[in-house]
Structure 1
Amino acid sequence: MGPTGSGKSSFISKVTGGSVLTSCTSGLRVTKCKVMGFANLVLVDTPGLDDTNRSDLEVLNLISKWLKENYERKALLSSVLYFHRITDNRMAGTPLKNFRVFEKLCGDHAMAQVILVTTMWDEVEDDVGKDRLAELRSTYWKGMISHGSTTFRYENTKESATRLLEEMAEKGIERRHKELRETAAGQEFFSLECNPQCSTGAP
């Protein structure tokens, strides 16, 4: 998950190297592949929460429906990757609102399964990127990290993608999927739908 243009699709491309079976399901890009000994690895590229063609509620509904259908087929969600551009010099407005909703979607019990992935390191000075990551870890991401989430510096290379996949595998556990309306994120989205003037969010 993550904003449009944050590197989700690029990561999947680097992981699979083109050896994939991909299908688009109502806006979700589902990629099945065999890498690193994983016989049935499924990577789900979700629309950005800032998608211009869908509301936040529609995006979350897409994700919720897909997870529910596949949970019933005994396919289990092992981990969640949240992609963030390190090139963004501040976190406010829509990006901040999207992250707050994502945080609520996970809930305290699932935060240990989350990897917060920073991307586009080749577009900033290394010291600048490190300072921004330190700020993210000590402020916006502090709560999730304290509940077990980890961070990962993705270098947009095959090697870096493989290391991220290894971390993803280590976090894999069975997690029961909740119905959309039962999650704090779902409640947040319904609130936003009822109050569109609040859709830009606030810290």
Structure 2
Amino acid sequence: MTGPKLFACVSVFANCAAGSQLKVGHELESSTIEIQAVSMKLGANDVVLIDTPGFDDTSRSQAEILQLIAEFLRRTYSEDKLLTGIIYLHDISSNRIAQSDLGSYRLFRKLCGDAAMTNVVIATTMWDDVDQQLGANRLQELQDDFFKDAYDRGVPIMRHDNTRQSAHRILSRLLGKDGTRCDIQYEMVDEGKSVENTAAGKELLHQFDEFEDTHGKQLRAAQDSLEPIPSRNGLRDGSGGTEEGADVRELRIALEQVRQELRRVQDERDKLRQTLGQDLTAHIKRLMLCICPI
């Protein structure tokens, strides 16, 4: 493979490494989803850092993010451009692993597959926001539990202190590796699968199933609780009707929130089955010309 060495990361890391000013998650318009790239030199090597949105980006749906990343990876693989490295960030200051963290990592693992993990570095961030001993304890816990499968495969879990020197040290760890093929690239190009039928797509659908099962139970429980409450807790208004108490109103609000979340997940399912829009497809084509000029 000729040309620059390609690294996938998020914009925060890319900006730190290259001194660039790529837009960061919340700075993008809510209706905008895109992949950005910046070129830099690392020693004698030409490097391109590709900002791939994280699955925990709350401003965009997971289905849209997976569709975009999958299409970009499909095109790079089709043009014989492989990733030299993938940087996965984890906030060391978090005092617990949230369900969203677990879901994001599961998606990441399915997207990469086992073979591509040899080209991954897990970089821990936000060390300034945590006591150093506590951070060291959490790092050990990550190696022993949350990231154990990756760590046992030789994936380094490194400290990133938000300096350019630190970012370059992490990139250098992967610089000498051969380019790697992610599972989702093989599935889409060599096996001709749609995104929803890849391992990553199935994982996301499985997470939707889990979400709907949990919130569906909450919805049914709330509906069952709602029926008898007005007669027990309601107050008579001036017309002889029943005025809802505060607990009933709160329950109705909670009920509507659950319904909205279930509608959101259904919308995500629909998006996963759709093909990428023309605007985003054109955006990826332009990006390919920038990072891999003919």
Using structure 2 for the length normalisation, give the TM-score.
Answer: 0.58
Q: Is the 8 A contact 1:101 1:185 kept in 2?
A: yes
Bigger mean CA deviation after superposition, 10-19 or 58-67: 10-19
Partners of 2:21 and 2:74 in 1: how far apart? 27
Equivalent of 2:138 in 132, 153, 161: 132
Moved more, 85-94 or 9-18: 9-18
Shift of 1:19: 9.6
> What is the CA deviation profile of residues 137-187 of structure 1, one whole-angstrom value per residue up to 9, with x for unaligned ones?
000111111123111101111211111110121344342623234642221
Larger proportion of helix: 2
Selected match of 2:13 from 11, 14, 29: 11
Aligned pair in 2 of structure 1 residues 114, 182: CA closer, same or farther (>3 Å)? farther
- 1:146 and 2:146 aligned: no
> In proportion to residue count, which structure has more strand?
1
Larger Rg: 2
C-alpha distance in 1, partners of 2:60/2:16? 27
Report the alpha carbon displacement of residue 198 of structure 1 after superposing the two structures with TM.
Answer: 5.9
- 1:181–1:113 distance in 2 versus 1, CA, 3 Å: farther
Amino acid in the other structure paired with 1:170:
G
For 2:126 and 2:66, how far apart are their aligned partners in 1? Answer: 25
Equivalenced residues, count: 190
Q: Which residue of 1 aligns with 2:37?
A: 30
Q: How far did residue 48 of structure 1 move?
A: 2.4
SS at 1:78 equivalent: strand
Residue 62 of structure 1 corresponds to which residue in structure 2?
68
Higher relative contact order by CA 8 Å / sep ≥ 6: 1 or 2? 1
Cα gap change, 1:183 to 1:149, in 2 (>3 Å): farther
2:202 — aligned with what? 187
Q: How far, CA to CA, are the matches of 1:8 and 1:26 in structure 2? A: 13
Q: What secondary structure sits across from 2:84 in the alignment?
A: coil
Is the CA contact (8 Å cut-off) linking 1:79 and 1:172 kept in structure 2? no
Is contact 1:81-1:114 (8 Å) kept?
yes
Q: Provide the identity percentage.
A: 36
The aligned amino acid for 2:203 is E
Please, which runs of 5 or more residues in structure 2 have no aligned partner? 1-8, 23-27, 189-194, 216-294
- Offset at residue 193 of structure 1 (A): 4.7
Give 1:97-108 correspondences, 5 Å limit.
97-108=103-114
Distance 1:110 1:18, change over 3 A: closer
Kindly indicate whether the alpha-carbon contact (under 8 Å) linking 1:47 and 1:59 is maintained by their aligned counterparts in 2.
yes
Deviation per residue, 1:64-98 (Å, 9 max, x gap): 10111122232211121110000111102111111
The whole-number CA distance in structure 1 between the counterparts of 2:14 and 2:64 is 23
2:162 maps to 1:156: yes
Structure 1: segments with no counterpart, 5+ residues: 1-6
Q: Cα distance, 1:129 vs. partner? A: 0.4
- RMSD across aligned C-alpha pairs, in angstroms? 2.7
Aligned pair 1:113/2:119, yes or no? yes
Query: CA 1:100–1:18 in structure 2 vs 1: closer, same or farther (change >3 Å)?
Result: closer
Partner of residue 86, structure 1: 92
Task: Give the distance between the partners of 1:119 and 1:87, measured in 2 at CA.
Answer: 8
Q: Report how far residue 50 of structure 1 moved.
A: 2.3
Structure 1 CA distance for aligned equivalents of residues 21 and 80 of structure 2: 24
Q: CA deviation at 1:190?
A: 3.0
AA at the equivalent of 1:132: R
